[in-house]
Amino acid sequence: MTMYWQRRNETSLHYRDAVVEAFHPHVSESFSGTDKGAKIWRLLSVAVTLFLFCMAALASAAPYTPGGDHVVLARLPQVPATLQAPSPPSDLSAALALARSQIDYASAQGDPRFLGYAEATLAPFSQDMSSPAANLLMARIEQQRHQFARARHRLTRLLEQSPNQGQAWLMLANIDRVQGRLDEARQACQAASRTLPPTTVLLCQASVQAITGQREQAYRTLQALASSPAAPQGKSAQWLNTLSAEIALQQGRLELATEHLRDALQQAPDDPYLRYLQSDLWLASNQAQAVIRDLTNWQDREGALLRLAIAGQRLEHPQAQAWRQDYRAHMAADQDTGRQRHLREHARFLLEVESDPQGALTLARENWQQQRELADLRLLHASAMAADDQATLSQLQAFVDRYQVDDAQLTQPAKGASE
Amino acid sequence: MKSLSLLFLLLLAGQAFAHKPSDSYLVINSNAGNALIEGRWDIALRDLQLVLPLDQNGDGTITWGELRRQQRNLDATVLPTLTIEALHGEQRHACALNLTRLQAIDHVDGTYAALHWRGDCQGPPEQLAVGYQFLFDRDPSHHGLLRLEQGDTTLTAVFSNQHRNQLMSTDAGAQWQAFQGFIRQGVHHILIGYDHILFLLTLLFPAVLLWQRGGWQPAPTITGALTQTLAIVTAFTVTHSLTLALATLGIITLPTWLVESAIAITVALGAAANLVPQLFPKRWVMAFVFGLIHGLGFASVLADLGLTDSGIFLPLLGFNLGVELGQVAIVLLFVPAAYLVRETVAYRRVFVPVGSVAIIILAGVWLAERLSGA
């Protein structure tokens, strides 16, 4: 029996209240890979996929001279030209506005190049702490790149100078929570209360309480807040719904989680974090087909590719092998670039697609040094169980005991029958 | 309809590339002793279009024609963001880089321009100082992944906004290659130098036996056989390494004919010792003493390889290592086999004495040849 927590995971986008701007509407196309009448087509398409893959593999091995001047080599993403301006604005407020749109675009599209462009935009203003706003944005970039230590250092320095930067406390709380320093996270939420509205502070506290033995209380607080006259609006409402969905999941109540997630998605239908969370819920409740329907148009994003590879494998989808190879190629390209690797996703791929528990465990352990969210805990636990590594399991137990982590996914088997 | 859309999706998937941070791939090929270097630099079209007006007709696509028309700009403005200097001793020369050919190449996240280039460094470089300035002003998170290939060895480095210069020691690669070459020479020499092999084998013949009551008896335990083998091999190794070093460093010099003849005598004596072991009770002493002579023999090979005084240490070490590797291989092949058949009459009464006599005769022939050839 597959454990439920082996099947789900979340994306690595941590910044919950990022502005979501949908530049492209994503149309979900109805498409069935298990159509019974199409068996021959399925076989044929497998052959075609393999052929295309071989061609692609050959093509990537060596440079070539295209057959003629008309051959299209690349389609440029349809980006507002202002987001790729050749020279950054010299005016601070214009630079801040541009950097913010670049970061938002990067998170919405999952395109890390725009984080780099934003960094260039902010460069003249983020060398010292004279502009808190520029440094907050820089910290956001660093956090999205998983450069947690760097982001944390920047925020701490900023807060030494301006302790009333509520936003900085909030981000610090988030980093501490993501990295499993839960006492520090709680203190940072507390410190934010001096300048930020109480609703925001409540959400901040609830995100920590949920994983430190006060799950039910956190959930009640959120629901009370949602139905109160002071119910948050906009991004905060989205955050509230996301948190509620995650706590419901933690309680093992999949349907409730789906409801909360639906509410959140209504506010931000193209938020990658939410879409991936949705996919993970589907994977957990044996609805792999829904994942493929939802993410097929997102194949240019690594997070979507991972979930497509998992869903495709379970359904023996004709595209499964292509998704798997694409993800492998990404993992390979990620090696030796001197960058922070997406260890959580890579470990999950090894565990769920490649059936390589030992490899998954190695990456999940490395990931655990960086990230300690519930998703990381579940992944490390699943890898350690699969690889039968008692030492890791007892290490995890120590963490669970210390913070009184209460998670249905760690203790209960899957709700749905295995596929 | 469904099937058609499925095929359509599959075709699309072949072109759908996932987003990735901005990296370029730079390969430098350098050949030892050659002033010319060449290489290839793969730059993502998405990155290139930030610095060059690639999409001339503004239709949101980049065609091969549009890329090709930028070839002059690539040579004039992009290639100069890459600088390579050749270091040789105290000298430092800038290598002039030229774009020789433009192609396209597909990487995991899309199509890249493949810039083939060649550089003239005026002299063979010991080290290459590579400077990389591409795109950092536009995207500080851009990385350049460098692979330096020289013969069999590959060195890698990563350029980033903070690390724009890399010093690549092409020499280290060459030295390691040379070192491996000397190891191979060492192995080769002991394997084809049958006088050394025969000497070692004659000493090892009785390692699995004991001389008792006027005849060879099988060694009762494997421990005894292993102890004997280890003692012989160690003693031989210590002394031949010593004289190999002394001769290579020029501290001992003896004429080759003398050394080669002496080696033939050691082989004959080693075989004779198997016939009259009461005269040679400690075989490891024999290995120890005669090892001195065999080391001088190894040294003559090393001298033939034409080494200079400077930097003799690594070749010597490599060669010696190779000799020991070859020797270990021989021991591992022979001793277990001999141990398995040690109790048979054929081994004790036929193989050891007849083999030893044959070796004495062969060594006698060598001795005659070597003395007369002098």
Complex prediction ipTM: 0.77
The answer to the question of residue B337 being in a domain is yes
Q: Pick the residue from chain B with its C-alpha nearest to A338.
A: B158
The answer to the question of residue B11 being in a domain is no
The answer to the question of residue B251 being in a domain is yes
Give the domain-ending residue among B146, B168, B190.
B168
- Please state the domain count of chain A: 1
Inform me whether the pLDDT recorded for B204 exceeds 90. no
B349 and B227 in a common domain: yes
Inform me whether the pLDDT recorded for A311 exceeds 50. yes
Residues 110-139 (A) with a CB less than 8 A from some CB of B: 110-113, 115-117, 119-120, 123
pLDDT at A57: 41
- Residue pair A192/A204 in contact (Cβ under 8 Å)? The answer is yes
Spell out which residues of chain B touch residue A24, defining contact as CB-CB under 8 Å: none
| Tens-digit pLDDT profile for residues A128-149 | 889 999 999 999 999 999 899 9
Supply φ then ψ for residue A75, to 5 degrees: -105, 125
Lowest mean pLDDT among A69-73, A96-100, B10-14: B10-14
B149 and B43 in a common domain: yes
Supply φ then ψ for residue B25, to 5 degrees: -120, 120
Give the domain-ending residue among B168, B194, B215.
B168
H-type alpha helices, chain B: 2-15, 45-51, 64-68, 71-73, 170-192, 194-204, 222-248, 256-275, 283-304, 313-341, 345, 352-373
pLDDT at A10: 32
| Range of the structural domain that residue A179 is part of | 84-196
Residues 201-230 (B) with a CB less than 8 A from some CB of A: none
What is the average pLDDT across A76-99? 89
- In whole angstroms, what is the distance from residue B167 CA to residue A205 CA? 50
The answer to the question of residue B156 being in a domain is yes
Confidence of residue B171 (pLDDT cuts 50, 70, 90): low
Contact A60 B106 (CB under 8 A): yes
The CATH number linked to A141 is 1.25.40.10
Lowest mean pLDDT among A79-83, B73-77, B312-316: B312-316
Burial of B58 (0-12, 13-18, 19+ CB in 10 A): exposed
Average pLDDT over chain A reads 84
How would you label B280-289 residue by residue, b for 16+ Cβ within 10 Å and e otherwise? beebbebbbe
- In whole angstroms, what is the distance from residue B107 CA to residue B24 CA? 10
The answer to the question of residue B46 being in a domain is yes
The answer to the question of residue A227 being in a domain is no
List Cβ neighbours of B231 (8 Å cut-off, separation of 6 or more): B283, B284, B287
- In whole angstroms, what is the distance from residue B372 CA to residue B374 CA? 5
- Tokens 């209380």 belong to which residue? A217
The answer to the question of residue B301 being in a domain is yes
How would you label B147-156 residue by residue, b for 16+ Cβ within 10 Å and e otherwise? bbbbeeeebe
Q: Pick the residue from chain B with its C-alpha nearest to A54.
A: B14
More confident position, A29 or A205: A205
B191 and B162 in a common domain: no
B281 and B241 in a common domain: yes
Lowest mean pLDDT among A41-50, A119-128, A340-349, A391-400: A41-50
The answer to the question of residue A278 being in a domain is no
Q: Give me the amino acid identity at A45.
A: S
Structure tokens at A46: 């497998």
Contact B7 A119 (CB under 8 A): no
List Cβ neighbours of A161 (8 Å cut-off, separation of 6 or more): A129, A132
Inform me whether the pLDDT recorded for B131 exceeds 90. yes
B120 and B225 in a common domain: no
A333 touches chain B (CB under 8 A): yes
Confidence of residue A373 (pLDDT cuts 50, 70, 90): very high
Q: Pick the residue from chain B with its C-alpha nearest to A333.
A: B108
B287 and B229 in a common domain: yes
Confidence of residue B311 (pLDDT cuts 50, 70, 90): low
pLDDT at B374: 52
Lowest mean pLDDT among A160-164, B29-33, B280-284, B307-311: B307-311
B314 and B184 in a common domain: yes
The answer to the question of residue A116 being in a domain is yes
What is the average pLDDT across B49-64? 91
B74 and B154 in a common domain: yes
Spell out which residues of chain A touch residue B7, defining contact as CB-CB under 8 Å: 41, 45, 48
How far from chain centre, in Å, is Cα B356? Answer: 37
Contact A322 B10 (CB under 8 A): yes
Burial of B224 (0-12, 13-18, 19+ CB in 10 A): middle
B138 touches chain A (CB under 8 A): yes
pLDDT at A414: 41
Spell out which residues of chain B touch residue A120, defining contact as CB-CB under 8 Å: 137-140
How many percent of chain B have pLDDT more than 70? Answer: 88
| Tens-digit pLDDT profile for residues B62-118 | 999 999 999 999 999 999 999 999 888 788 889 999 999 999 999 888 899 999 999
What is the average pLDDT across A220-225? 95
Q: Give me the amino acid identity at A10.
A: E
Torsion angle, alpha carbons of B206, B208, B214, B215, to 10 = -90
B10 touches chain A (CB under 8 A): yes
pLDDT at A31: 30
pLDDT at A251: 93
The answer to the question of residue B3 being in a domain is no
What is the average pLDDT across B309-316? 65
The answer to the question of residue A238 being in a domain is no
Contact A63 B40 (CB under 8 A): yes
B312 and B211 in a common domain: yes
Structure tokens at A382: 């699943």
CA distance B21 to chain A (A): 5
pLDDT at A273: 92
More confident position, B19 or A154: A154
Inform me whether the pLDDT recorded for B6 exceeds 60. no
Question: Hey, of B63, B115, B142, B162, which one would you mutate to test binding to chain A, going by the most A CBs within 10 A of its CB?
Answer: B63
B240 and B159 in a common domain: no
Q: A109: part of which helix (H) or strand (E)? A: helix A92-109
Q: Pick the residue from chain B with its C-alpha nearest to A41.
A: B3
pLDDT at B175: 65
**pTM of the predicted protein model:** 0.66
How far from chain centre, in Å, is Cα B143? Answer: 31
Q: Pick the residue from chain A with its C-alpha nearest to B145.
A: A337
Residue A325's closest CA among A353, A288, A358, A283? A353
pLDDT at A54: 42
Contact A339 B21 (CB under 8 A): yes
What is the average pLDDT across A162-189? 95
- Residue pair B24/A52 in contact (Cβ under 8 Å)? The answer is no
Structure tokens at A137: 């944005």
List Cβ neighbours of A197 (8 Å cut-off, separation of 6 or more): none
The answer to the question of residue B130 being in a domain is yes
- In whole angstroms, what is the distance from residue B156 CA to residue B145 CA? 7
What is the average pLDDT across B41-45? 96
Average pLDDT over chain B reads 83
pLDDT at A32: 34
Give the domain-ending residue among B168, B189, B209.
B168
pLDDT at B208: 85
Q: At what angle do helices B170-192 and B283-304 cross, to 10 degrees?
A: 130
A390 touches chain B (CB under 8 A): no
| Range of the structural domain that residue B82 is part of | 18-168
- In whole angstroms, what is the distance from residue B49 CA to residue B142 CA? 14
The answer to the question of residue A141 being in a domain is yes
The answer to the question of residue A325 being in a domain is no
Inform me whether the pLDDT recorded for A56 exceeds 50. no
| Tens-digit pLDDT profile for residues A256-310 | 999 999 999 999 999 999 999 999 999 999 999 999 999 999 988 899 999 999 9
